[in-house]
Amino acid sequence: EDFLFVVVKNRDTDVMELENLLTGVLEEIVRDRKLPGVAAGVVNCGDGEEGAFASTGERAPGQKWGPDTMFQVHSVTKLVTQFAAMRLVEDGRLSLSDEVRVHLGEHWSSENLRVYRGKKIEGEPVYERVKREITVLHLMTHTSGLSYACPWGTPVDEMYQSSYAKAAAMSERETPQQLENRLSKLPLCGQPGEFFNYSASTDILGRILEGICKTTLDRVLDELVIAPLDMQNTFFAPNGMDSSSIARIYERSPVGDLEDITDFELARDAKPIGGKGLVSTVADLMKFSAAFMTGKSAKGVELLSKESIDLVKTDHVGIIQDRICSESSAFGRFKFGLGVAIEPLGFGPGFAGKGSFFWIGFGGNFVSFDPQTGIGIVFAMQVYTDIRWDDCLYSRQKIAEAVYKHHANSKERGHSGQPHRPPIKTSAQETRET
């Protein structure tokens, strides 16, 4: 068997040093950001050394985070959907140039869509025609013109918020198809391909995957990503999921207090959609991080070619500080590939990690990938803050600086400093072997 964590008496001192370093950084994050608890994992597709895991604080009262602690990954779901889409592209069943209308119907035709352009003096909205068809590439780069139900202050965002609120108030939750049809009736915030706007585009992409594979999205992702990577604790959270089996979810109030909203969140009757909803663990996401850098599973089965991975991490949008439909300050400094944000500067001396790519979730978690060094980082927390993702981006900066500094020091000492890729054993397996 090929595992990441094997409980032995003499673990590699380099890995133990990294875990101690991570623990110190996480303690600083919890203290500075006033968080209940966090966890992180570092994986490298390098020289076969062990992976590193650390945590601090609690995932629930009296319970610590472990590598197999389940938590809601929120928008990190988008990464899994994008990975599945790229597999279909390689198989020739999907093309980035495909028009959305070809897969989902003429209600997505440019002739039936409109772009919001403001209001007349008397308050009547002004629209303009859509110049080009929305493509799969537009969906995967968030340049489709769609928006989200985020409070970014534009009239289109307000229309989305109202639409989502009405859908949430329905006695029966809408299906993915109903969601798709509803979004097609809302105006675009900009011309497709001309503006970046973080949006529900991945939900529409998920509908396209369902049509191609002729099954529901949960089964699509399981077949193309989750099962091949042996991500045994990754799935769409069922309605009424037992809250004792998952990390507690908190919401931060305007004055900074934390309110436990776990039961409310898990009571939602969510349907599998491309942009959110998965539950996972640090262990499973470390497997996923490795696969997104190497294109291979822990058993060496190729899932994505190097060419596809290069395409994912290639800048398809450019610096979009002045090309954002909504006022989302979190995105302004990054470049964008296929469903991923690209780090343009790196971390600390030597600009380590420049060109690495990542994505974040609303609960503050993130997964990052650096094919150049082989370093992947997974961070888990469950605190809803606001759309600036301050806690998450602060944590990403602190952890990345520490990990890359350790990596450089290890190389200077003659160690590879590279924990390797295969999956983490669960705490139950560790207990038996100890």
Amino acid at 96: L
Rg, Å, the chain Cα set: 21
Considering the chain, what is the average pLDDT of its residues? 83
Q: Are residues 278 and 156 in the same domain?
A: no
pLDDT-derived band of residue 167, with 50, 70 and 90 as boundaries? Answer: confident
The predicted model gives 60-85 an average pLDDT of 93
Measured distance CA(218)–CA(209) in Å, rounded: 10
Q: Indicate the SS3 state at residue 329.
A: helix
What pLDDT, on the 0 to 100 scale, is given for residue 330?
A: 58
- Higher model confidence: residue 132 or residue 431? 132
Q: Residue 430 above 60 pLDDT? A: no
Q: Are residues 372 and 321 in the same domain?
A: yes
Q: Are residues 161 and 250 in the same domain?
A: no
* Mutual angle of helices 13-33 and 390-413, in 10-degree steps: 160
* 4 lies in some domain: no
Tokens of 157: 């965002």
pLDDT-derived band of residue 268, with 50, 70 and 90 as boundaries? Answer: low
Tokens of 150: 């985020």
- Higher model confidence: residue 51 or residue 433? 51
Q: Residue 78 above 60 pLDDT? A: yes
pTM of the model: 0.88
* 2 lies in some domain: no
Q: Residue 273 above 50 pLDDT? A: yes
Q: Are residues 196 and 224 in the same domain?
A: no
Q: Are residues 72 and 101 in the same domain?
A: no
Q: Classify the C-alpha dihedral 400-406-411-412 as positive or negative.
A: positive
* 6 lies in some domain: no
What pLDDT, on the 0 to 100 scale, is given for residue 6?
A: 34
Q: Are residues 139 and 197 in the same domain?
A: yes
**Which of 188, 210, 232 is at the close of a domain?**
210
pLDDT in tens, 378-419: 999 999 866 567 788 889 889 998 898 888 887 777 654 444
* 353 lies in some domain: yes
Q: Are residues 198 and 237 in the same domain?
A: no
**CATH number, domain at 271?**
3.40.710.10
What pLDDT, on the 0 to 100 scale, is given for residue 320?
A: 52
* 169 lies in some domain: yes
Q: Residue 83 above 90 pLDDT? A: yes
What pLDDT, on the 0 to 100 scale, is given for residue 150?
A: 73
Q: Residue 431 above 80 pLDDT? A: no
What pLDDT, on the 0 to 100 scale, is given for residue 17?
A: 87
Q: Are residues 252 and 305 in the same domain?
A: yes
pLDDT in tens, 19-55: 999 999 999 999 998 899 999 999 877 544 457 899 9
Q: Are residues 277 and 391 in the same domain?
A: yes
**Domains identified in the chain, total number:** 2
Q: Are residues 236 and 183 in the same domain?
A: no
- Higher model confidence: residue 318 or residue 326? 318
* 433 lies in some domain: no
Measured distance CA(196)–CA(315) in Å, rounded: 13
* 7 lies in some domain: no
Q: Residue 429 above 50 pLDDT? A: no
Percent of the chain residues past pLDDT 90, beyond the cut: 48
- Please give the full DSSP string across 32-74, using - where no structure is assigned: HHT-SEEEEEEEESSSSBPPEEEEEEEEETTEE--TT-BEE-G
What pLDDT, on the 0 to 100 scale, is given for residue 46?
A: 56
Q: Are residues 253 and 196 in the same domain?
A: no
**Which of 147, 179, 210 is at the close of a domain?**
210
Q: Are residues 265 and 407 in the same domain?
A: yes
pLDDT-derived band of residue 424, with 50, 70 and 90 as boundaries? Answer: very low
- Residue span of the structural domain in which 226 resides: 13-83+217-413
Alpha helices in 91-131 (DSSP H): 100-104
The predicted model gives 291-308 an average pLDDT of 92
pLDDT-derived band of residue 331, with 50, 70 and 90 as boundaries? Answer: low
Based on DSSP, count helices (H) and strands (E) in the chain, helices before strands. 13, 16
pLDDT in tens, 201-252: 999 999 999 999 999 999 999 999 999 999 999 999 876 677 788 899 998 8
* 434 lies in some domain: no
Lowest pLDDT segment from 187-191, 203-207, 339-343, 411-415: 411-415
